[in-house]
């Protein structure tokens, strides 16, 4: 199906059969998935219609006009933006059928078990081990900076399965059950006073081989699919004009003329234009994406997102003066999601510092853009062909 008019007709028929006001929230979302209106570019039977990706906006607009419930995408962003496209690209038919529907409906929250205390920017240096035991794998190790681990039912996990190979070639990708008794989730308190992140200890965690994504030892290539999707979901999300961080500071400027200065006016104008350019570039990027196969351009979007958030939040604090330093709640909280726009300016300023780390550090993303977008020579890598077990740690 490639015709927008035909798709609108399908949506109207769906709404007639499932009136939002008379259908339970979860029942409506399950029916929407089954009708192929969840991800229209996914295959039939997996939430889609095999249509082109841009047609999703047609579905979303018609459902929004009908005041239909959504799946709270911010709460399940890791599942939608990272786990789902990776499962679609590498999962078996059974895995796709088992996980995609409850993931999209929001019945099961996901987290990402990638980074480790000794493997952050150099993720391929990870040391969490997975050892084959019949039809299962036994996993031991530690992960860190894991968003939503305290609420997640499932996790996408990479672990080392062959230490005899160079670091990029001995990794395998799995789906991990977060309710396994060997999974220990502990909070990490941030500069904001909250603990949205966690460290996760894995001790004798048993994972069936059926929950492996991709071939044994090919986990790095699978992980790259996840990471590229992550950067698109972080830096290229669909937002309206003056959405995101630029919105609150623009409103303050309009509503509080006594705070204005010429210098801040010029800086805010520049940032407003840059935020709008980034927003429109994100729209173009989404139109070019094939299902589950984004390119390195998402790294550039995530770079721009991090820089803009930090500069905009800094201007907002300056604009508000002493008032901008206030932050209403330093108590230890365990939020399910990050709210950049519904909190104080002080919170936004502090939380945006993490934007240049999460989803790939800005330094690593600059290398990706240089090498894979601009075609510049790669940096020398002396450990590329050395067995992982022989690397200095």
DSSP annotation of 50 reads S
CA–CA distance, 392 with 143 (Å, rounded to integer): 20
Catalytic residue among 62, 196, 230, 316: 230
CA–CA distance, 372 with 248 (Å, rounded to integer): 35
* Angle between the N-to-C axes of helices 262-288 and 219-235, in degrees from 0 to 180, rounded to the nearest 10: 130
DSSP annotation of 280 reads H
Strands (E), 178-228: 183-188, 197-208, 212-213
Chain Cα centroid distance, residue 96: 19
Q: How many CA atoms lie less than 13 Å away from 14 in the CB half-sphere?
A: 24
The four Cα atoms 380, 382, 386, 392 give a dihedral, to 10 degrees, of -130
The four Cα atoms 69, 54, 74, 29 give a dihedral, to 10 degrees, of 30
CA–CA distance, 264 with 214 (Å, rounded to integer): 51
- Contact yes or no for 306/276 (Cβ under 8 A): no
CA–CA distance, 144 with 118 (Å, rounded to integer): 10
Q: Give φ, ψ of 345 to 5 degrees.
A: -60, -35
The four Cα atoms 373, 375, 381, 387 give a dihedral, to 10 degrees, of 70
Which residues on neighbouring strands pair with residue 110, listed in sequence order? 154
- Contact yes or no for 98/136 (Cβ under 8 A): no
CA–CA distance, 134 with 273 (Å, rounded to integer): 58
Which residues on neighbouring strands pair with residue 186, listed in sequence order? 199
Q: Tell me whether residue 230 is one of the annotated catalytic residues.
A: yes
- Contact yes or no for 344/252 (Cβ under 8 A): no
Which residues are part of the catalytic machinery?
A: 230
């Amino acid at each position: 199906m490639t015709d927008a008019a035909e798709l609108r007709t399908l949506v109207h028929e769906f709404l007639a059969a499932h009136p939002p006001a008379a259908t339970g929230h979860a029942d409506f979302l399950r029916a929407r998935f089954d009708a192929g209106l969840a991800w229209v570019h996914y295959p039939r039977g997996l939430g889609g219609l095999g249509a082109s990706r841009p047609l999703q906006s047609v579905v979303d607009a018609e459902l929004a006009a009908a005041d239909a419930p959504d799946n709270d995408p911010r709460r399940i962003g890791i599942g939608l933006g990272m786990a789902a496209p990776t499962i679609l690209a590498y999962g078996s038919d059974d895995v796709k059928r088992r996980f995609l529907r409850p993931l999209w409906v929001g019945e099961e929250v996901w987290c990402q078990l990638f980074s480790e205390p000794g493997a952050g920017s150099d993720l391929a240096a990870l040391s969490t081990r997975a050892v084959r035991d019949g039809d299962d794998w036994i996993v031991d190790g530690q992960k860190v900076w894991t968003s939503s681990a305290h609420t997640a039912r499932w996790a996408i996990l990479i672990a080392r399965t062959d230490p005899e190979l160079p670091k990029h070639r001995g990794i395998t990708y799995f789906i991990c059950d977060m309710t396994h008794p060997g999974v220990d989730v502990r909070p990490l308190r941030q500069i904001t006073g909250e603990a949205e992140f966690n460290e996760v200890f894995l001790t004798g965690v048993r994972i069936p081989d059926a929950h492996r994504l991709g071939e044994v030892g090919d986990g790095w290539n699978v992980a790259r699919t996840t990471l590229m999707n992550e950067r698109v979901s972080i830096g290229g999300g669909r937002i309206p004009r003056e959405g995101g961080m630029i919105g609150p500071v623009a409103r303050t400027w309009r509503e509080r003329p006594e705070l204005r200065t010429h210098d801040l006016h010029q800086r805010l104008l520049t940032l407003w234009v840059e935020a709008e350019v980034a927003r429109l570039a994100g729209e173009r990027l989404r139109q070019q994406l094939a299902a589950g196969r984004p390119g390195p351009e998402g790294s550039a979007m995530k770079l721009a997102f991090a820089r803009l958030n930090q500069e905009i939040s800094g201007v907002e604090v300056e604009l508000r003066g002493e008032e901008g330093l206030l932050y209403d709640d330093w108590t230890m909280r365990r939020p399910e999601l990050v709210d950049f726009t519904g909190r104080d300016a002080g919170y936004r300023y502090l939380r945006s510092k993490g934007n240049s780390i999460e989803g790939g550090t800005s330094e690593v993303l600059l290398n990706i853009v240089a090498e894979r977008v601009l075609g510049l020579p790669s940096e020398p890598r002396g450990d590329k062909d050395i067995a992982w077990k022989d690397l200095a740690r």
